């Protein structure tokens, strides 16, 4: 069994201090366009055609851990080597806004990431993949396109679909310290909620699973400290 989760510095009380705003609409980026049904159809078919076997697995490392967006019929703790979770995707709509942009989690190259591999039921594969793609890809080209990666589980290796940041994309934010990321995460909020809520949900679920991410643990403490300063009661 996973060890008992440790108490977090960041709490629901911190999250409750941060307002939720109305949807400002999609950002007016010159280098992307809104995804269409045709884009979604093509991407789902690309995933299915490239699948390595009869079982279809996805690798969850952030919000997909606590909000999978699809039906699943099996899960395994998994380790992705050569990748790490990082707040590196610029967001000024969902959990950020133009004045206080957020940083969403993506897989970035280097290091190691422990997460969860979920299997999507074969009988409802396309239905569930369409749910997934509509949540993960609102713009074309995507800043974090899906690709197949190898992960290791306690029962052996798996090939899973994972969403990985494209460092060439203009929305990629690299090179920030943990303190700089926390500065941004503590103030960002959008129509789907705050980045603080996103951090809290992710760390809470990881701790429940017995997954300790050292950087994320430090970030949740730093975010809590900054909220107490920026958003006093």
pLDDT 10s digits, 78-129: 999 999 999 999 999 999 999 999 999 999 999 999 999 999 999 999 999 9
pLDDT 10s digits, 141-183: 999 999 999 999 999 999 999 999 999 999 999 999 999 999 9
Residue 43 known to be catalytic: no
What is the rounded distance in angstroms from the CA atom of residue 62 to the CA atom of residue 131?
17
The answer to whether the CB of 200 falls within 8 A of the CB of 176 is no
* pLDDT over threshold 70, residue 2: no
pLDDT 10s digits, 127-150: 999 999 999 999 999 999 999 999
**What are the backbone angles phi and psi of residue 70, rounded to the nearest 5°?**
-140, 160
CA angle centred on 107, ends 101 and 168, rounded to 5°: 70
Mean pLDDT of 34-57: 95
* pLDDT over threshold 80, residue 23: yes
What is the rounded distance in angstroms from the CA atom of residue 233 to the CA atom of residue 228?
8
Residue 1's pLDDT is what? 66
Largest CA distance in the chain: 53
How large a percentage of the chain has pLDDT more than 70?
99
Instruction: Provide the total of helices (H) and of strands (E) in the chain, helices listed first.
Output: 7, 9
How large a percentage of the chain has pLDDT more than 90?
89
Among 85, 71, 214, 74, which residue's Cα sits nearest to residue 158? 74
* pLDDT over threshold 90, residue 217: yes
Which is the catalytic residue, given 75, 136, 180, 228? 136
> pTM here?
0.94
Q: Is the dihedral of CA 56, 57, 63, 67 positive or negative?
A: positive
Residue 29's pLDDT is what? 87
């Amino acid at each position: 069994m996973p060890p008992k989760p440790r108490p977090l510095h960041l709490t629901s009380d911190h999250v409750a201090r941060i307002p939720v705003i109305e949807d400002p609409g999609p950002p007016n980026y010159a280098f992307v366009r809104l995804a269409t049904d045709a884009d979604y159809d093509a991407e789902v078919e690309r995933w299915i055609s490239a699948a390595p076997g009869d079982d279809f697995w996805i690798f969850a490392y952030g919000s997909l851990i606590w909000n999978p967006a699809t039906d699943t019929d099996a899960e395994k703790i998994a380790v992705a080597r050569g990748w790490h979770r990082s707040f590196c995707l610029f967001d000024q709509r969902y959990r950020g806004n133009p004045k206080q942009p957020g940083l969403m989690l993506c897989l970035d190259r280097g290091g190691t990431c422990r997460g969860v591999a979920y299997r999507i039921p074969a009988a409802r594969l396309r239905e569930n993949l369409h749910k997934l793609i509509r949540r993960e890809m609102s713009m074309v080209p995507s800043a974090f396109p899906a690709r197949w990666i190898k992960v290791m589980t306690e029962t052996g290796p798996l090939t899973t679909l994972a969403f990985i940041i494209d460092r060439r994309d203009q929305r990629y934010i690299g090179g920030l310290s943990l303190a700089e990321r926390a500065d941004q995460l503590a103030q960002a909020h959008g129509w789907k909620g705050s980045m603080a809520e996103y951090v809290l949900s992710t760390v809470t679920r990881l701790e429940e699973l017995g997954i300790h991410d050292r950087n994320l643990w430090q970030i949740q403490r730093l975010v809590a400290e900054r909220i107490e300063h920026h958003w006093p009661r």
